[in-house]
Amino acid sequence: MRRVFVLAATVWLTTCAATGVRVDADKVSALKIGQTSFADAVAALGPPTSQMHLGNGTMIVSYSYVQVSARPESFIPIIGPFVGGADSRASSVTLRFAPDGRLADVISSESQYGTGTGVFSGARSVAPTNQPAAPE
């Protein structure tokens, strides 16, 4: 029984990985163009994953998040490497702050990719969703 538990835990831990800062859409919609400061945005969303400072005083910050999940068939003994793969979802929120330090623009994007191995390389697509990817 213990071996089954260890095997199940190992498979579960190796099937999903995530990195970055996932931003809740409700928190982004609460930010007000022309009113929200950089400090307000960081208080609401957390530290950004990247920052750029332009010569004209404009600051651009990004919150990026990527989640990758191995497909279950990847773990089938012997044939897994030929029929398996992984699916990933990524989201990004970019905030542009004017030289006066106030929010000037919000841009968000989401993408989904499927990567297959062997015979079915790339053949499976990820179903589109209007919701950010949730960790599994």
Q: What is the pLDDT of residues 1-27, one digit of tens each?
A: 665 444 454 554 457 888 888 898 899
Q: Which CATH architecture has domain 16-120?
A: 2-Layer Sandwich (3.30)
What are the distances in angstroms from CA 24 to CA 47, 58, 67, 106, 132?
Answer: 14, 24, 15, 14, 8
* Every domain of the chain and the residues it spans: 16-120
- Write out the two tokens for 46: 């957390």
Share of the chain above pLDDT 90, in %: 47
* pLDDT exceeds cutoff 90 at 70: no
In this prediction the pTM is 0.69
pLDDT of residue 127: 54
